[in-house]
A and B are shown apart, each in its own frame.
Chain A
Amino acid sequence: MWKRREIIMFNLFLGDVRKVRLFTLFLAVVGLYLVVGCAGTQSTEKPDFVTVTYKTIKTMSELYNMSMGTLGDLYREGKISEADKAKAIKYGERFRKAKDLAVEALISYTKTEGQSGFVLVQTALDEAIRLYGELARYIQPMLTKGEL
């Protein structure tokens, strides 16, 4: 056993490319298995779903507040036009409404914990995430233009 191990180590040390690649592949497969296994375990537990959804909404809300606050500062400094301001408000409000729907759905789900509520929360959250992405894509050039 020891002899075999020495041989493997020797081969690795000498740079046996095939064995190194096999070893790397083995590590990657084990790593992937662990990641998928852990993700599966977490997603089936209801408390984790509520907590993760809550934290996601809270984080998005904080990012929204920071982003819009910065845009407001840039607007007052004259670095953002009225047209850009109007569009930022439009995208911001779209996100805010979607986020409010996700919060309502999450509150209902927390009270009832029904399967339909679970799907509703996921759908509402996906929409809020999509709209935050849309808002981020729109305001990013403005934030950069503002020479922060």
Chain B
Amino acid sequence: MSAELIVTVIGLILKYGVPTAIQIYQTWAGGVGDPEKPTIDELEKLKTMTPPAESFFEE
């Protein structure tokens, strides 16, 4: 995933709003994950998917 794409996605968010931009992104990416209803385990994994913001700036 290139940095240019992130700028593009954020541009879409600013122009069309988050839900529409997400739909566009999902269409582009061919959907995220399986189309099946997620299991509890898969939902639980969402909790640990995003590290604390500060960790991204560590040297």
Contacts and interface: CB of A to CB of B under 8 A. Distances in A.
B6 A92 contact: no
A148 B26 contact: no
B9 A50 contact: no
A140 B57 contact: no
A47 B49 contact: no
A42 interface: no
Interface residues of B, number: 39
Contact count band on A = 35 or more
Interface of A is mostly: helix
Interface of B: 1, 3-4, 6-7, 9-11, 13-14, 17-19, 22, 25-26, 31-33, 35-38, 40, 42-44, 46-47, 49-54, 56-59
